[in-house]
Amino acid sequence: MSIEIINVRKIYPGGQRGQAGEIRALDGVSLAVRKGEWLAIMGPSGSGKSSMVNLIGCLDRPSSGEIFIDGQDVKELSASELNRFRAEKIGFIFQQFHLIPYLTALENVMLAQYFHSMTDRAEALEALDRVGLRDRANHLPAHLSGGEQQRVCIARALINDPSIILADEPTGNLDAKNEELVLRQLRDLHRQGRTIVMVTHDPVVARLADRSIELHHGKIASQQIFTMSDEMQFDEVLEEIWTLHENGELAEVGRMEVDGALPVAIAIDRMEELGLVRKRVHGAADHTHKSVLNRCHEAIHPAARGIEHGEFIVEFTPAGKQRATDVIRRHRLAERLFTQALKVQNEEEIEQQACKFEHILSPEVTDKICSFLGHPESCPHGSPIPAGECCEKAGHADDRQTEKPSTIGKEGSENARLWR
Ligand code: ADP
Ligand code: MG
């Protein structure tokens, strides 16, 4: 366990002396963060998020309760031991950059080295290089953009190779482009096996974490565990390949547009390692690049990319095909559920829900929904729903897995006209 907090309270004296005025910034919080886990802390302003980060970072001591960092009870460390412990174990990234204004980017990074041991100019330069700022090394913070300053902070946070990264609203002050850069860096750190605790108010940013907790009045009010976000993106890629195949198109890497934390080409490399897909060099095979609509990802854009061919074609392995079948089945059943059973009319909402449900339905729940809907053969748009085990048991399975529906189901026809 990387971080363990047991029944921690942080009480600040209020405006006046006496109990009535005291502020319970943290009110009996217990939490364990695994080594290598990425935890997001959410919650309204004043709910105790920064207090929690400061305690984990040993910048402050709890009023009561225990905190273990990498097994060390931090209460037992003297002030100077604590400084050293912090410098070795923990890297901080704050919303306010806390850069020293009269030191250059390079000197700011070297200052962090100094706390650790010896300064090493070459190493500090390399750290700036890693965040794409080698050529800004001699600039003062005032001469750097917000995003660049944040990247200097990341270089500084990483200089001592900490195992734990604490980030308090790391993208709070950044524009979209710099936010993406910073989030990519956090992802890299996560992939390198570092533990990350990140405060954010943005649910989309929190989604990148493995787990999110919500603080309310100094207590953990709720917790949400995300299935690994990469896995979700893999599902999306599989779905995209499926959709292209279903429309008689080849899946070209350069053609696929799939949102997610990873660029598609990298996601596909990872999927190849996991045995879900195979890549092969683009042959001279005749294909049309016709426009194909994957409602989950909106249009795939052949027109915008002209007729240029992607470098690689992606194909399913049997394992990938099975997983794609399952995703498509969940998605199309969810569309049915929302249209048919829940009478949701708004297509956008139906798609949003279906795109969510395709990731979260368990096999049992999927089969229950399928049975409840009477084992439908097609989605509201008329595309076939792959049969599941429940359909076979119910005697509904015909070879519709890959077959195109010749007719659209009764309920489907109306929608199909509307939606196609
Ligand atoms: P968040 O980061 O979720 O906005 P904080 O942890 O900063 O919340 O603050 C939690 C509560 O503790 C707030 O009511 C805040 O005013 C109070 N607080 C934080 N730091 C101090 C402090 N140094 N002295 C007194 N009260 C504080
Ligand atoms: Mg805060």
CATH of domain 3-226: 3.40.50.300
Confidence check: pLDDT of 307 > 70: no
Q: Where are the beta strands (DSSP E) in 237-391?
A: 251-252, 277-281, 293-294, 298-299, 312-316
Q: Are 141 and 97 in contact (CB under 8 A)?
A: yes
pLDDT confidence band for 179 (50 / 70 / 90): confident
- Return the closest-CA partner of residue 211 out of 68, 110, 200, 219: 200
Q: Quick one: pLDDT at residue 362?
A: 84
Q: In the chain, what are the domain boundaries?
A: 3-226, 230-316, 328-419
Whether residue 294 is predicted with pLDDT greater than 80 in this model: the reply is no
CATH of the domain spanning 328-419 = 1.10.60.10
User: 175: CA distance to ligand 2 center in Å?
Assistant: 19
Residue 399 has pLDDT above 60, yes or no: no
Average of per-residue pLDDT values in the chain: 82
Percent of the chain past pLDDT 70, that is, above it, reads 83
Which is more confident, 230 or 144? 144
Overall pTM surpassing 0.85 (yes/no): no
Q: What are the start-end ranges of the H helices in 36-171?
A: 49-56, 79-89, 105-116, 121-130, 146-158
Residue 415: its pLDDT value, please?
32
| Ligand nearest to C-alpha 216 | 1
Please name which ligand lies nearest the alpha carbon of 95. Answer: 2
pLDDT at 283 over 90: no
Cα separation of 392 and 388, whole Å?
Answer: 7
Strand partners of residue 167: 93, 198
User: Which ligand 1 atom minimizes the distance to the CA of 47?
Assistant: 3
| Residue 232 Cα to ligand 1 middle (Å) | 36
206's tokens: 């929190």
45 C-alpha to center of ligand 2: Å?
Answer: 7
Position 212 pLDDT exceeds 80 = yes
Nearest Cα residue to atom 5 of ligand 1: 48
